[in-house]
Amino acid sequence: MPVTIRVNGKAQHRQVEPRLLLVHFLRETCGLTGTHVGCE
């Protein structure tokens, strides 16, 4: 699934799995490892 999202002022255009969580996109695709999952 094609996705475009603006992160820290930069557009990120990626192909992702439909079930990918935003937190995993930010950590794994964008390298923003400061992002954490809160209480589940």
Looking at residue 36, its pLDDT comes to 87
With tokens 């990626």, the residue in question is 14
**pLDDT reported for residue 28:** 92
1 in Cβ contact with 17 (< 8 Å): yes
Distance of alpha carbon 15 from alpha carbon 4, whole angstroms: 9
- Do 7 and 18 meet the contact criterion of CB atoms below 8 Å apart? no
What pLDDT, on the 0 to 100 scale, is given for residue 40?
66
**Maximum alpha-carbon separation in the chain:** 29
pTM of the model: 0.76
- CATH 3.40.50.450 for the 1-40 domain, yes or no: no
pLDDT digits (tens, 9 = 90+) for 1-40: 999 999 999 999 999 999 999 999 999 989 999 988 888 6
The pLDDT of residue 5 is: 94
Model pLDDT, residue 11: 96
Q: Which pLDDT value is given to residue 15?
A: 95
15 half-sphere exposure, CB direction, 13 A CA radius = 0
